[in-house]
Structure 1
Amino acid sequence: MNIQGKVVVVTGGASGIGKAMCERFAQEGARGVVVADLDAAGAQRVAEAIGGMGVGINVAVEVELQALVQAATERFGQVDVFCSNAGIIVRGDEDTPNVDWQRHWDVNVMAHVYAARAVLPQMLARGEGYLVQTASAAGLLSQVNAAPYSVTKHAAVGFAEWLSIAHGDRGIRVSCLCPQGVLTPMLMGADGSQRSQSFLGEGAVSPEAVAGAVIDAMREERFLVLPHAEVLTFLQRKTADYDRWIRGMRRLREKVVGMVRR
């Protein structure tokens, strides 16, 4: 898909990957870019900078996603591309409180479901549309120090696969974004300290690089978007010998947990 002349909605658009995608879509000649975020003021700032439309939204609430699609459609006539990009991470294990498990499920998974329910009817009626689902390399591999994040990102990848299988022959294109570290507030931590970066920041790329990878994948209508090319190698090793891969991930977890404790 060529973005020029298209109408694009991006959730989590006030910062990080979402902001970079909004900016890149505008540069590519999108007719309309709708910047949606829980940070309504931040969404408005990004929208004003690119001549788009800013909307405050909690993606964990289905009626708010329905209202977002309706507002974008009323403003621009239709939605050609919907980027389900908003996400959260709390680092923890199986004992992470239920409330945090539920928040991950609501934002990292159900928000994708709600968006699809809201936007697919008009796309299917036209026989074309594009869904960009932001998951993570953790959804293909794992996140060794964040169980709720890893589990819900696996689910996000699974839902993206299902959407492509179910609707690909009806004109709906799906790309699933699975980066490793990206230099965003989610990665760096609230204080932006070197300790927050440590192992997590190793090999991290800029949000702008990720946005460029998304554009490239959409032009080619590729399912997997891998800003870190090595993720494909890791995935191939995983599927080639699952038990060996798990042993290697155990060693990685010990390293990671040890660095966090220091």
Structure 2
Amino acid sequence: MSTDFSARFTGKTIIVTGAGSGIGRATTMRLLAEGATVVGADVSETRLAELMADAGTDRLVGVAGDLTEQATIDEIVSAAGTVDGIASVAGITDNWLPAAEMDDVTWQRVFDVNLTAPMRLTRAVLPQMIERGSGALAYVSSEAGFRSSISGAGYTSSKHALNGFVKSVAFYYGPKGVRANAVAPGGVNTNIDVAFNSSYALERTGKLLETMPTPSVEPGVVAKSLLWLLSDEAENINGVILPSDGGWTTI
């Protein structure tokens, strides 16, 4: 039996970070198709302008800016007003740098984007969600949050830490009506920079990647899981790190 999801988010306002490309773009377009008003944030003004032109609706508000800057977080929340949910998608890699080759700048930038920015955005919307007694928070983690063989030390550590943050939010604010969950994708066809900056990392992990157990998917596949976690259909789901990997975690 088919289910009509066309109005699943009607009347709701959702913030999407990393909205200009990949999973963020797919999530934004799907939310709009299902009736949501979306505040889409992206560091690239060009990507954001293209998204808004393609969407062609006044239910999409764009905010261009660096999520690691508090002023950008403030602008996003101000533009949204009442926030019913967040899809925290934006993230960067560390170009496969293992610990012995990790530099402070890369380490800090990865943690600022992948962990601190989601924390600040969450912190900014929690008071209104707690007061209202409802809210859905969905984050994009990674298979790297379960293992250490598909990224460098910084990215892996940031995604493990993000998983812990999600569970902490779920524990503390679940009783207040706020749900927090994450999707952990395997391979996804996006424009995220995955170039190797370490010859040792390539030597160590290259053959593993050649035999990746599940194929990469298009961003829209992961977006479906994010929307489910944001929707009322997932009303009893809280503190879950949901693999979207074709069964990779079973191997």
Same fold, judged at TM 0.5 (above): yes
Match for residue 217 of structure 1? 229
Match for residue 41 of structure 2? 36
Higher helix content, 1 or 2: 1
1:29 Cα deviation (Å)?
1.3
Classify the secondary structure of the residue corresponding to 2:35. Answer: coil
Superposed, 1:8-47 pairs within 5 Å as: 8-30=14-36, 32-47=37-52
**Which of 199, 211, 224 pairs up with 2:210?**
199
Query: Within the alignment, does 1:140 sit opposite 2:151 as a pair?
Result: no
What's the C-alpha RMSD, in Å, of the aligned pairs?
A: 2.3
Post-superposition CA distance 1:164-221 (Å, at most 9, x none): 01101101011201001100011666xxxxx9xx639761111011111222333324
Classify the secondary structure of the residue corresponding to 2:170. Answer: helix
Q: Tell me how far apart the structure 1 counterparts of residues 67 and 211 of structure 2 sit (CA, whole Å).
A: 26
Contact in 2 for aligned 1:178/1:225 (Cα 8 Å): yes
Query: Within the alignment, does 1:88 sit opposite 2:88 as a pair?
Result: no
Describe the shift of the 1:27–1:199 C-alpha distance in structure 2 as closer, same or farther (beyond 3 A): farther
Q: Tell me how far apart the structure 2 counterparts of residues 226 and 169 of structure 1 sit (CA, whole Å).
A: 25
Q: Tell me how far apart the structure 2 counterparts of residues 16 and 159 of structure 1 sit (CA, whole Å).
A: 23
Match for residue 65 of structure 1? 73
Q: Which has the higher contact order (CA 8 A, sep 6+)?
A: 2
Contact in 1 for aligned 2:41/2:48 (Cα 8 Å): yes
Q: Tell me how far apart the structure 2 counterparts of residues 174 and 225 of structure 1 sit (CA, whole Å).
A: 11
Contact in 1 for aligned 2:73/2:120 (Cα 8 Å): yes
Q: Tell me how far apart the structure 2 counterparts of residues 137 and 40 of structure 1 sit (CA, whole Å).
A: 29
Q: Tell me how far apart the structure 2 counterparts of residues 199 and 61 of structure 1 sit (CA, whole Å).
A: 38
1:142 Cα deviation (Å)?
2.5
Superposed, 1:108-147 pairs within 5 Å as: 108-147=114-153
Match for residue 200 of structure 2? none
Aligned length: 223
Query: Within the alignment, does 1:97 sit opposite 2:103 as a pair?
Result: yes
Describe the shift of the 1:176–1:200 C-alpha distance in structure 2 as closer, same or farther (beyond 3 A): farther
1:144 Cα deviation (Å)?
4.1
Q: Which amino acid aligns with 1:5?
A: G
Contact in 2 for aligned 1:8/1:83 (Cα 8 Å): yes
TM-score (norm 1): 0.78
Describe the shift of the 1:207–1:187 C-alpha distance in structure 2 as closer, same or farther (beyond 3 A): farther
Classify the secondary structure of the residue corresponding to 1:186. Answer: coil
Q: Which amino acid aligns with 1:110?
A: T
Q: Tell me how far apart the structure 2 counterparts of residues 209 and 63 of structure 1 sit (CA, whole Å).
A: 32
Classify the secondary structure of the residue corresponding to 1:148. Answer: helix
Q: Tell me how far apart the structure 2 counterparts of residues 182 and 169 of structure 1 sit (CA, whole Å).
A: 34
User: What is the identity percentage for the equivalent residue pairs of Structure 1 and Structure 2?
Assistant: 32
Q: Which amino acid aligns with 1:199?
A: E
Q: Which amino acid aligns with 1:4?
A: T
TM-score (norm 2): 0.82
1:66 Cα deviation (Å)?
1.8
Match for residue 201 of structure 2? none
Classify the secondary structure of the residue corresponding to 1:178. Answer: strand
Contact in 2 for aligned 1:130/1:173 (Cα 8 Å): yes
Q: Tell me how far apart the structure 2 counterparts of residues 215 and 83 of structure 1 sit (CA, whole Å).
A: 8
Unaligned runs of 5+ in 2: 196-205
Match for residue 152 of structure 1? 158
1:99 Cα deviation (Å)?
0.3
